Amino acid sequence: MIKSLKSKLKAHELVLGGWVMIGHSTIIEIMAKAGFDWICIDLEHTAITYEQVENMIRAADVAGVPVLARLTSNDKDQIKRVMDNGGTGIIVPMIKTAAEARAAVQAMQYPPLGHRGVSLHRGTDFGARFDEYQDWLIKKAICIVQIEHIDAVNNCEEIFAVEGVDGYFMGLYDLSASMGLIGQLDHPDVITAMDKVYKTGKAMNKPGGFHVVEADPMRLKEAVNKGFTFIAYSMDTRIIDVACRLGIATIK
């Protein structure tokens, strides 16, 4: 039996994700065929449209790879549209409280677990698999919260205790900014805050995500060796940039 991404997260199996900033289904196809276990479409910092999202999710479906969307905010309408288009789940930025985490889960789920409006769009195969989709939504849809503010660090135990939160991602740049230490990722106070989240997550058996931003295989190995299992490896734009500069540097 093929395990769902949700089951793998719960079992702390190593799952490597591709991060997509370019709004084209070809990028999804390339990453899926390269062997990524899951793919994230970044809506927070890009110009990707809903039409592009639909086609990108369709490409991931053809390849059999789960696809998450990192949202622009904890927006119930955006959550609904991503899930209606067939998304496997969501990554919600700037969650600071348990109430905000609960709102994200409820926006993803149908009643009685949530308050998302019922859809007969792609997620349900346009209504043909509506009953199956309801069961899938409860058992396999994924909600990941981003811990990227000092308030979230202080509230992380309550956030992780929310039913339906499947894991978290640290956002270190925004965390450092919220502490008045923008970009100082190695500052002792930032490291202390990060360690608090990791220790709390481990104690509560909540999978913690780690983003290896640079396209550097050695940094990826370091993350794996440190015990991280829910890892995003770089992003399409950085991978292209690094490959281009490396090639040019060998000639000039």
Prior bond to 66 cis, omega within 30? Answer: no
Q: Is the dihedral of CA 135, 42, 148, 34 positive or negative?
A: positive
- Among 12, 24, 45, 115, the active-site one is 45
Establish whether 45 is a catalytic residue: yes
In angstroms, the CA 99 to CA 104 distance is 9
75-83: list long-range contacts, CB under 8 Å, 24+ apart: 76/103, 76/107, 76/115, 76/116, 78/43, 79/104, 79/107, 79/108, 79/116, 80/107, 80/116, 80/117, 80/119, 81/50, 81/53, 82/43, 82/53, 83/108, 83/116, 83/119, 83/123, 83/137, 83/141
Q: Are 94 and 75 in contact (CB under 8 A)?
A: no
Query: Which residues carry out catalysis?
Result: 45
